[in-house]
Amino acid sequence: MKCDLVVVGAGPAGSMTAKAAAEAGLDVVMMEKRQEIGDPVRCAEGVSKAALKKLVEPDPSWISAEVKGARIRAPDGTEIVISEDRAGAEVGYVLERKVFDRALAQEAAEAGAKVMVKTRALGLLTEKGVPAGVVAQFVGEELKIEAPLVIGADGVESKVGRWAGIETALKPKDVETCAQFLVQDERIDDDYCEFYLGNDIAPGGYVWSFPKGRALANVGIGILGSKADSGTPIRLLRDFMKANFPEGKVLEMMVGGVPVSGPIERTVADGVILVGDAARQSDPITGGGIINAMKAGKMAGKIAADLVPRGEVDKRSLMVYEEMWRETIGKHISRNFAVKEFFVDLTDDDLNRMIHSLDGIDVAELDLKGLLKVLVRQNPKHLLKLRHLIV
């Protein structure tokens, strides 16, 4: 089989890539190793409404709930509420990723991309030592797909980069190891996302509760890999449930890893581009990666459509993509990586002090940058190291 572009992985990054490239006229094959796109889910499903709307038309079929704001709880129990709009307008979505991921893949298909499920990339084809497509296993049978460009959108477990000589293995300090339950409990607040901080609760991470409507929520935990031991996330999540939702009923469970490494050295090689979690583009503080994955996919797809017809797929030509994402989403990722490196070593006393400093302050901006600004203003001495990062 031959085509212009092979996209490996049909998550948000892959589908946005395939859609953008196909829309611009490329002959695209997108392969996904799972037999069902989007399932099992590895996500808490929270996104900013405004950011998502710029990328795709919201559809009720994949929105579980809309939230008005967030609540953050300090280790000593103090809570602050962050709500962008005092009138209580919804600022965030909690998605149904099983439906969302497939809907994005469907958009790629409608734009003309060929989608292949239960098709796992096994390695790169090469021609005179240069990547020239993918060897895959399609429902158990070997399949070769020749293409001048391969885009790796293969998520946290990405191999495409490694095959092309890009080192993407995550160190324990650069990954959040996570577990999550879908919980039914009358105590769940359907309007707010909640975050719980503390070194006993979630070392180097946090516990979240993202409502999905009708007293359901994704209640999960992320722990910094370097502070974890085999099975720590599931153990601490069970402890949290006992303390906070003793009556909670668990309807689903899932586990996963989120890259929090900040920008890696390089995301292009001859004939290869990486996007989304494969390129470690998730936010190092929040662990959110859907929006960045979609943005990077859109950039990569457009650039592919521009360069492939011209035969310019060597590493140097592909630097256009590298520069574009670093200039845009990369800036936030770098800054948040520096902030994360600082935050993960704070003691519970530090965390309490910070939350207390926000008491009575009108945190008008829901976004992280706004919050950090207020924190630095309120804690000039303690957060001196962060000042230069947040201007």
Partner 1 sequence: MLTVNRYKCGYCGACVGVCPAAALELVETWIEVNDDCTRCGRCAKICPLGALELDKEAKR
Ligand X SMILES: Cc1cc2nc3c(=O)[nH]c(=O)nc-3n(C[C@H](O)[C@H](O)[C@H](O)COP(=O)(O)OP(=O)(O)OC[C@H]3O[C@@H](n4cnc5c(N)ncnc54)[C@H](O)[C@@H]3O)c2cc1C
Alpha helices in 264-345 (DSSP H): 290-307, 315-327, 329-343
Rounded to whole angstroms, the Cα distance separating 173 from 305 reads: 36
The amino acid present at 281, given as its one-letter code, is Q
277 is a site residue for ligand X (CB under 6 A): yes
Rounded to whole angstroms, the Cα distance separating 19 from 293 reads: 13
Q: Which is nearer to ligand X, 329 or 358 (CB)?
A: 329
238 is a site residue for partner 1 (CB under 8 A): no
When CB distances are held under 5 to 8 angstroms depending on the partner's kind, the choice from partner 1, ligand X, none that residue 8 binds is ligand X
User: Binding ligand X by CB under 6 A: which of 161, 205, 271, 287?
Assistant: 287
- 28 contacts 18 by C-beta, under 8 angstroms: yes
When CB distances are held under 5 to 8 angstroms depending on the partner's kind, the choice from partner 1, ligand X, none that residue 31 binds is ligand X
User: Binding partner 1 by CB under 8 A: which of 187, 231, 251, 369?
Assistant: 231
121 is a site residue for ligand X (CB under 6 A): yes
* Residue 253 CB contacts under 8 Å (≥ 6 apart), including other chains: 179, 180, 181, 182
- Applying the rule CB under 8 A, the residues between 28 and 47 that interact with partner 1 are 33-35, 40, 42
- Please give the annotated binding residues, written as ranges: 13, 32, 43-44, 46, 97, 121, 277, 289-290, 368
10 is a site residue for ligand X (CB under 6 A): yes
| Alpha-carbon distances, residue 342 vs 320, 330, 346 (angstroms) | 32, 19, 7
162 is a site residue for partner 1 (CB under 8 A): yes
Rounded to whole angstroms, the Cα distance separating 233 from 207 reads: 10
Q: How many residues bind ligand X (CB under 6 A)?
A: 41
When CB distances are held under 5 to 8 angstroms depending on the partner's kind, the choice from ligand X, partner 1, none that residue 336 binds is none
- 301 contacts 320 by C-beta, under 8 angstroms: no
User: Binding partner 1 by CB under 8 A: which of 92, 152, 259, 263?
Assistant: 259
Q: How far apart are the first and last CA of the chain?
A: 51
Residues within the interface to ligand X (CB under 6 A): 8-14, 31-34, 42-47, 120-121, 153-157, 159, 178, 180, 220, 256-258, 276-278, 282, 287-291, 293
